[in-house]
Amino acid sequence: MVGEVGWPTDGDKNANVNYALRFYNGLFTRLAANKGTPMRPGYIEVYLFGLVDEDAKSVAPGNFERHWGIFRYDGQPKYSMDLSGQGQDKLLVAAKNVEYQSQRWCVFNPNAKDMSKLVDNINFACSFADCTTLGYGSSCNSLDAQGNASYAFNMYFQVQNQQDQSCDFEGLAMATTQNAVEKILKTFSSTKHYFGSYIFPLIEETHADLLSSMKLLSQAKTCEIYYVEESKGFKLPRDLFYKILIKIQDSSTYEPKPGDLITFSDVKPERHTNLGLIAMQAPNLSFSAQSLCKRLPEISHSAMT
């Protein structure tokens, strides 16, 4: 029996969704084949280390300790998983009837006068709330000073159930109904770091899946088309997609652009859907991914906005 196995998705430079997916794909494939280990071949009983992220767990071993879950804090799945180990990726069932607080955030006050107390107040907020995503190599590592403050203040504000007195920090903070998540994303000092760490690894994973699934592609009945900007440095084989499209659509009216990513519902659609959602959650950044899914032959091409 293996009592603890898994891979964290944040809190360290080696803790992200891409690595977690690779780990679980390898693990479940091996378990499904009943290969075991050299010392213990055959069936092995395994327990995943974390079901849900724990925002109050000790971080003595590292900031990643709070991010072992396959679900986020609110019970929403982080990614699709092939629990069968037989190529049947599916999004896990999310928690239902989750009650969220009102749409209010606590952010850095741009009119603040005394900045000498900023560090102390950020440290105070992070002593009572989870700021592990601000650490080195973590998902919000590239925020600037105001972004760090807004993140820390808001986490504390939410933990304190949005009480008005919990969003002051000696005049350094202010409550707002404007979506602070979008605002914080705008303050990324390095957009390249953000996409390099989280978006592009998912695209690369998708690329690998596509190249290894040609047989399934030829049998596809429906499709999903993602338009990914070529300017971000990720290119896919244009001729490969052109041939695939012609094969299943039997038409040459649509010519893919370099950078277009074409996948099909038989090839891990949930993962690709996740990719599109993640990209579209940051509409203000210079990156976009749109998805279309229609029954053939009604495939259409939509220009990127």
Q: Any idea where the domains of the chain sit in the sequence?
A: 2-91, 105-186, 191-292
Please give the Cα distance from 56 to 77 (Å, whole number): 19
Identify which of 87, 86, 92 has the alpha carbon closest to the alpha carbon of residue 48: 92
- The reported pTM is 0.59
DSSP designation for 141: T
The pLDDT score that the predictor gives to residue 301 is: 33
Can you say whether residue 259 is alpha, beta or left, with left for phi > 0 and alpha for psi between -120 and 50 degrees? Answer: left
The pLDDT score that the predictor gives to residue 63 is: 93
Please give the Cα distance from 234 to 200 (Å, whole number): 8
Which three-class secondary structure state does DSSP give residue 79?
Answer: coil
The pLDDT score that the predictor gives to residue 277 is: 33
Identify which of 278, 143, 116, 137 has the alpha carbon closest to the alpha carbon of residue 203: 278
Q: Which ranges of the chain have pLDDT less than 70?
A: 180-305
The pLDDT score that the predictor gives to residue 154 is: 93
Please give the Cα distance from 163 to 96 (Å, whole number): 26
Per DSSP, what are the bridge partners of residue 52? 71
The pLDDT score that the predictor gives to residue 80 is: 82
Please answer whether residues 42 and 36 qualify as being in contact, where contact means their C-beta atoms are separated by less than 8 angstroms: yes
